[in-house]
A and B are shown apart, each in its own frame.
Chain A
Amino acid sequence: MAKVLMKGNEVIAEAAVHANCKYFFGYPITPQSELVAYMAKRLPEVGGLFLQAESEIAAINMVYGASSAGVRVMTSSSSPGVSLKQEGISYLVGSELPAVIVNVMRGGPGLGSIQPAQSDYFQATKGGGHGDYHIPVLAPASLQEIVDLMHDAFDIADRYRTPVILMADGMLGQMMEPVEFKEKQHVELPEKDWATTGTRGDGGPKIVNSLRLDPKELEEHNRHLQKKYEKIKEKEVRYEMYLAEDADYIVVAYGTVARIVKNAIHKARKEGIKVGLIRPISLWPYPQKPFDETREKVKAYLTVEMSAGQMVEDVRLAVNGKSPVHFYGRTGGMVPSHEEIYAKIMEMVGGES
C-alpha cells in the first residue's frame, strides 16, 4: 500500500480500523477530537459502530459493555477525560476485559491547557484507578509507529484480557506525516469463551464481574492478576536504543520528546561527545534491559520529559543508584527544543567529566 499523508489523530483511528476494531465509544476533547470525528465517518463504512457518549464515564462503560460481548473496542480521550475514565478502567481490569484506550495527552493538572504534555505518565503506569493493577502502556514516537503498535495494542489486550493504553502527546495527535498501512500477519489469540452474548448453544450462564466479596477469593484474583503482569513483563517489553553502543552518556525519553532528543544527540556527536538514546516504547512494562546493558560503561543518564519529572523515577529504579540520573522537563504544554536539550547534555557532560 502506498504512503499517505495523514494527521496523527486520524492515523490512530485508521490504525485501529486496520487492527479490526469496529466499535468505538467516545467523547470529544481537544487535542484528540479529530480521532472521534474520523471514527464517526469511518466505522459505518466497515460495518462497525461509532457512538458519541454523553460523557467520558459513559464512554468507558459502553466500552465495558461492548467488550463483555467479546468485540474489539476502543475509546480515546485527552488527559482530563482520561481522569474521568479511571473508574471504568479499574472495572475493566477487575473484570479482565480487553480494550484499547488512547490518551492524547495535554497539559494539566485540572483543565490545564490543550498543548502537548507527558504529565499523565504516573496515572497510566502506576495504576490510575483504584486497586492493585497495571496496564500495558505503549508510547509511539511517530505516526508510522502508531500504525505498527496499534495491532500490538489490540493483540496484547486480547491475549491477556486487559485494557491497554496507547499514550500519545498532543503533538503526535496534531502533526502530519506520511504513513503506510501494511497488512499484519495473523496472530493466534485465545477464544473469547467468557463473553456474555447469551447462552444459546454454549451451555450455562456466564458472568462478567469484578466483585469478589470473599477476601480469600479476591486475594486469589489479585494473585492471578499479578501473575499475568509477570508474564506481560517477560513478553511485552518494547524499546529503541539509538547510538547507544559506544555512548558515554545516555538520554532517556519517549514519544515526541525522543525525536527532539535525537537532534540534540546529533549536535553533541558533532562536538565529539558520545551520547545515545534509550527510548522506552512500552512505558509499562518498563524496559530494564537497556539500562542493564549500558549501566557499566555510561557515565550518566539524562531523562527528558514534558512533565515535572515522572518517568525519571522509573529510570532511577532501573539504574538502581549505580549511575547519576539527571532530569530536564518542561510543563504546561511547553515542548523542549533540541537546543535546550543539547545545553542540558553539555551541562551533564561538564558536570561529570
Chain B
Amino acid sequence: MELVFKKTTGLKDTPTHYCPGCTHGIIHRLVGEVLEEMDILEDTVGVASVGCSVLSYEYFNCDMTQAAHGRAPAVATGLKRVLPKDRFVFTYQGDGDLASIGMGEIVHAAARGENITVIFVNNAIYGMTGGQMAPTSIIGQQTATSPAGRDVALQGSPIRVSELLATLDGAAYIERVSTHDVPNIIKTKKAIRKAFETQKKGLGFSMVEILSTCPTNWGLDPIESLNWVKEKMVPVFPLGVYKQKEGVN
C-alpha cells in the first residue's frame, strides 16, 4: 500500500496529556513538522516552560531543557550563547508563563536580539493551574480569579505581547497567527517555519504568537472554543506580522 501520510519525526510516538479540543497538539505537530522539514531536529534544543506545556519535553523528539516558570527565555539565552553556532534553540511558552511572571525575561531576550525562536501559545487563561485570569484574558472574560468577568478598573486590560515586543530593535520577526481553522493552521505553520529560518540566518529574536483554545477552562466544547477564538480573541489580538526585519522572508 502506498504511504500517503505519516506522523512527523519531530514528535515522539507518545500520547499527549492535553485536553480534548485543545490546540496544543496541533501546534506541537506544526513545530515538529517544521523541525523535520528543515532537517534540524538533531541540532535543536527546546526549552519547556511551566504550565500546560510543561511536559512538552516528553513530546518533542529533540533535546529538551525544562525551565522555571517564566524563565524559559533566560534559559534559552544561556543555551544559545554557549552552544555551537549551528544549533537551534526554541522556547515553548504559554501566556501565563510568558506574559505574567516571565515578562521581564521575554522583553530582555527580545531587546538583546537573542537569536532564539519563541513559540508563544496564547489561550487567554491559565490552563494547567486551573483557569485563572491571565494577562491576556479579555475584558469581561470570566475566570476562576475574575469570576465577575475581567474588569478594566480592577484588573486592567489584556497585554498584546506581539505589539509590545515589536517595538524592540532586537526583534527580527514577530507574527500573530491562530489555530481556529484550517487556513489559519496552514498560516501558523508558515510562520513557525519563518521564525526558525530567521534564527538560521542569525537575524535575531523571532516569535510566533499563536491563538489557541482552552475548552476545559473556558467551559466550552471544542467547536465553540474555535469560534470563541475567532469571534472574541482575534478582535482583541489582531492577526498579522508585527515585525519583519530585512532578510526575513
Contacts and interface: CB of A to CB of B under 8 A. Distances in A.
A210 interface: yes
Given A55-B104, A198-B42, A67 B78 contact: yes
A206 interface: yes
Interface of B: 12, 41-45, 47-48, 54-55, 57-58, 60-68, 71, 74-84, 87, 104-105, 107-108
Contacts of B58: 207
Interface residues of A, number: 38
B82 A71 contact: yes
Contacts, number: 133
B74 A95 contact: no
A73 B41 CA distance: 26
A207 B78 contact: no
Interface stretch (A56-64, A105-113, A118-126): A56-64
A91 interface: yes
Interface string A34-55: 0000000000000001010111
Contact of A53 (B12, B74, B79, B83): B74
Interface string A193-226: 0001111110001111111000000000000000
Contact of B57 (A58, A73, A91, A209): A209
B180 to A, nearest CB: 30
B42 A200 contact: yes
B63 A58 contact: no
A211 B43 CA distance: 24
Interface in A58-106: 58-59, 61-69, 71, 73, 87-88, 91, 95
B62 A205 contact: yes
A191 to B, nearest CB: 16
A313 B71 CA distance: 35
Contacts of B60: 205
A151 B105 CA distance: 31
Interface string A2-15: 00000000000000
Given A57-B71, A88-B71, A207 B66 contact: yes
Contact of A69 (B61, B64, B79, B105): B79
7 contacts: A23-B81, A53-B108, A58-B77, A62-B74, A65-B47, A205-B63, A206-B64
Contacts of B44: 198
A58 B82 contact: no
A199 B71 CA distance: 23
A299 to B, nearest CB: 50
A66 B76 CA distance: 8
A25 interface: yes
A73 B61 contact: no
Nearest to A25: B78
